[in-house]
Amino acid sequence: MTGRSLDEDHQVVGNLQREIAALPGAVDVFVRQRQDYPTMDMNVDRILANEAGLTQKDVATSLLISLSTNGQVAPNQWLDLQNGVNYQVAAQTPQYKINTFDAMRRMPITAPSGGVKQLLQNLARLKRNISPEIESHYNTQPVVDIFASPDRRDLGGSRRTSKGLLPERPTLPRGTTIDLRGQATLPTSLKINQLFDQSLFVRAAAWNTYHLWWRKGSQIACRN
């Protein structure tokens, strides 16, 4: 499903997913672009951070190093003199030590130049939230995909029953389109390409026949 109204599109996709999952032979039916991925919003108080000699960049850098290593902000390389290979050295807080919301709030924040350490809870407000797990686009437009696989049923039969569940365009949100893609449409597209190739072959054969006939007629005319 392609369109700009993601909230309305996800409502249609949720209903369509349940209908497809109820079809005989349909298994592993799921929506790829989930909208309820757990996230955490952080709002840094600039006044408190400035009083502690820190900036928003310092807070973001400290969190980035603790949660996803220092490879993005301060990469380090170690050279093994015996084999001449460079190895990346990464520092990160062990994940088992940040397993609760309170542990996240107690993460230390420091400036690259050093100075007094501060806890994250003294500089920012944290709030639980949800956000899209993944964002996909098709022809620059946001898209929501429903994946399904057939089990003990042929692909053509699954395609026909699934296609019958697709809502009509007037019932969709404005600017939203829905299409059936994947291996289910492969036989149809191959058949169309085969018919197109056959038509080109017939035209080429007719043109060669006409060309040979014209050359033969011209030779007879020249002899006469």
> Pairing mode, if any, of strands 146-150 and 26-31?
antiparallel
Contact criterion met (CB below 8 Å) for 141 and 26 = no
The token duo for 102 is 């309170």
The reply to whether the predicted model has a pTM over 0.75 is no
Q: Which CATH architecture has domain 40-127?
A: 2-Layer Sandwich (3.30)
1-35+132-179 and 40-127 in the same fold:
no
Cα separation, 212 vs 208, in Å, equals 6
The token duo for 150 is 């057939």
pLDDT in tens, 146-201: 888 888 877 777 777 777 777 766 678 888 888 887 776 655 544 444 444 445 44
Q: Which CATH architecture has domain 1-35+132-179?
A: 2-Layer Sandwich (3.30)
Three-class secondary structure of residue 30 per DSSP:
strand
Domain boundaries in the chain? 1-35+132-179, 40-127, 182-224
pLDDT in tens, 78-133: 888 888 899 988 888 888 888 888 888 888 888 877 767 889 999 999 888 988 88
- CB contact set of 102 (below 8 Å; sequence gap of 6+): none
Three-class secondary structure of residue 185 per DSSP:
helix
Contact criterion met (CB below 8 Å) for 82 and 96 = no
Query: Quick one: pLDDT at residue 191?
Result: 45
pLDDT in tens, 99-112: 888 888 888 888 87
